[in-house]
Each structure stands twice: as C-alpha cells, then as structure tokens.
Amino acid sequence: MRAPSTATCSSSSPYATITANLFYECGGASFLVFPSSGAPSGTHDQLGFAVDDVEAAAATLRDRGVELETYEAPPGCSFRDGIMDYGSVKAAWFKDSEGNLISIAQFVGG
C-alpha cells in the first residue's frame, strides 16, 4: 500500500487525475473519487483505495478475515484469486459491515 506522506490533509485538490478518477491523500491514506451513475445499493463501489500492489493488499485483507467479492470477468478481462485484471487496472472488492462495496485498485502504467 502507499506509504503515508502527511498526518493531515495538505490540499483539497487531487494529486492525480486518471480517466475521470480523482486521487486524494489525507491523513496518510490515499483514496479516489469517481463518477457513478448507479444507485447507492451496495452493488457499486462506495469508496476506493489506490494501492501500489493489489495482490499484496488483497492478501493482507484475506489474512485479516476479509472476504473478497467474486465477479464474472467481462470480455477482455480476467478474474483470479479475487482480483479483476482489466489490463491497465487491477482491482478487488469487499463489503463493509453495512454492505457498502469498497474497492482496492492498482493503476498499472499511470
């Protein structure tokens, strides 16, 4: 996962923008905000964390008892061990205690 950089939010501006995803860092945690047309039903991401290594982050979550969601891979993608590989993005999802869908994503090649 991304190393902490500051103890507080240093800016209200995103530190990066990739394909309409806005990346922020606050309190040592990185997160992204993205456009969504879905209803808040728990069937789409409510919160996403950008990580440097999605496989390592997923393994850490599993070791702590978190169950990753399972999805059918869309055409051109692969899904293995709880991780969807879109090519330029690798992602995994899990639900919090209220059923909100949370993602971790690794953006490959910027």
- What is the domain partition of the chain in residue ranges? 16-107
Residue whose entry in the numeric block shows the structure tokens 């190393």:
3
User: What is the reported pTM?
Assistant: 0.65
| 59-79 per-position pLDDT tens digit | 999 999 999 999 899 999 999
CATH 3.30.720.110 fits 16-107, yes or no: yes
The pLDDT value given to residue 6: 33
Q: Express each pLDDT in 14-30 by its tens digit.
A: 889 988 888 888 777 78
Q: Give the model's pLDDT for residue 94.
A: 94
- Cα–Cα nearest to 102, from 45, 59, 52: 45
Q: Give the pLDDT confidence score for residue 8 in this predicted structure.
A: 54
**Contact yes or no for 29/51 (Cβ under 8 A):** no
